[in-house]
């Protein structure tokens, strides 16, 4: 684990870590003096401030991870609900071949949701899954995942009106469509509601002032080892802050964000497998990560 670079935030915090270590070296060489004036600091105030800083960092880290885990749970729910709808379409509809329309729309919903959360273009995925008429309709839509859920509901309506789906079975399938709508809303809530900016500002400022002043409080007791101790403490605080910032936005493209590409292709292959397809699409790796 000492030599693992995958997912490490060291590259992100390297500039401030080198700057802090450089300040510590200068303070150690000057023995805590600035313009021939000794800075009268001890390690006592840093112990008190460090405790408060740890509480702030713990709160931010826990909040960020809670957002990350909720996002992962929502995508797990997306997999479960999609499988349930596909199973019902394959077993409850009188004409089994009609199920492919709904399954393709569910797969398209998954990819459209990923693209919406990441701000990327879903056109290529939609065109390989949907008919030209469906794609033309989606081209005009602002919220494509929501329209795809509407189209899935319209598929149920058409089957009911055509007598190919018993009205008694319709509510059972509508339940899963409703839960997919909840997944969509939950993901949009996480993506559009970040942690209040002031938390990041407060922690950022405290960490920098703490690490830059720390050499003055350690140089008399630690001596030449001051830069090493400061570098270790600074790495701990800077790394936790950087990791919290990454986890706060779980749908991004950072190494520690959710592997949405792998999750999307898992859902697609799972639904295709339920239809009996044999030539499944190879799951792409995402920034070195493979979905467990």
Residue 253 covered by a domain: no
* In-domain check, residue 85: yes
Q: 64 in a domain, yes or no? A: no
pLDDT computed for residue 41 by the predictor: 77
Q: Within a domain: residue 266?
A: yes
Asked if the model's pLDDT at residue 285 lies above 60, the reply is no
The candidate with the shortest Cα–Cα distance to 110, out of 272, 276, 278, is: 272
Nearest-5° angle of CA 106, CA 81, CA 278? 60
Assess whether pLDDT exceeds 70 at residue 15: yes
Q: How many CA atoms lie within 13 A of 196 on its CB side?
A: 5
Residues 125, 111: contact at Cβ < 8 Å? yes
- Residue 283 binned pLDDT confidence (cut-offs 50, 70, 90): low
Residue 116 is assigned to a structural domain of this protein: yes
Inside any domain, residue 240: no
Q: What is the rounded average pLDDT of the residues 168-190?
A: 93
Mean predicted confidence (pLDDT) in 85-99 = 87
The tally of domains found in the chain comes to: 1
pLDDT exceeds 60 at position 203: yes
Instruction: Identify the band that residue 291 occupies on the pLDDT scale cut at 50, 70 and 90.
Output: very low
SS3 286: strand
- CB neighbour burial string for 47-61, b if at least 16 within 10 angstroms, e if fewer: eebbeebeeebeebb
Give the domain range for residue 132: 72-194+262-275
**Using one digit for the tens of pLDDT, what is the confidence trace for 221-249?**
888 899 999 999 999 899 988 888 888 99
212 within a domain of the structure (yes/no)? no
Structural domain contains residue 280: no
Predicted local distance difference test score (pLDDT) of residue 246:
86
Mean pLDDT of 263-267: 92
């Amino acid at each position: 684990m000492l030599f693992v670079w995958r997912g490490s935030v060291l590259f992100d915090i390297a500039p401030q870590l080198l700057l802090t270590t450089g300040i510590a070296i200068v303070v150690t060489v000057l023995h805590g003096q600035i313009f021939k004036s000794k800075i009268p600091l001890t390690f006592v105030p840093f112990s008190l401030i460090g405790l408060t800083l740890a509480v702030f960092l713990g709160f931010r880290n826990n909040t960020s991870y809670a957002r990350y885990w909720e996002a992962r749970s929502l995508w797990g729910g997306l997999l479960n609900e999609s499988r349930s709808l596909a199973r019902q379409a394959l077993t409850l509809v009188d004409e089994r071949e009609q199920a492919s329309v709904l399954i393709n729309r569910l797969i398209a919903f998954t990819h459209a949701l990923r693209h919406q959360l990441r701000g990327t273009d879903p056109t290529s995925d939609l065109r390989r899954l949907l008919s030209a008429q469906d794609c033309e309709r989606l081209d005009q839509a602002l919220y494509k995942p929501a329209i795809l859920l509407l189209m899935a509901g319209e598929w149920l309506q058409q089957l009911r009106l055509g007598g190919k789906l018993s009205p008694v079975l319709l509510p059972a399938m509508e339940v899963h469509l409703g839960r997919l709508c909840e997944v969509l809303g939950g993901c949009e809530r996480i993506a559009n509601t970040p942690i209040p900016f002031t938390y990041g500002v407060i922690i950022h400022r405290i960490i920098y002032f703490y690490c830059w002043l720390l050499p003055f409080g350690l140089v008399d007791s630690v001596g030449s080892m001051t830069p090493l101790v400061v570098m270790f403490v600074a790495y701990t605080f800077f790394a936790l802050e950087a990791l919290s910032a990454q986890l706060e936005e779980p749908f991004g493209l950072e190494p520690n964000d959710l592997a949405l590409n792998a999750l999307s292709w898992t859902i697609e292959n799972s639904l295709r497998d339920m239809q009996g397809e044999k030539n499944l699409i190879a799951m792409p790796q995402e920034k070195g990560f493979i979905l467990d």
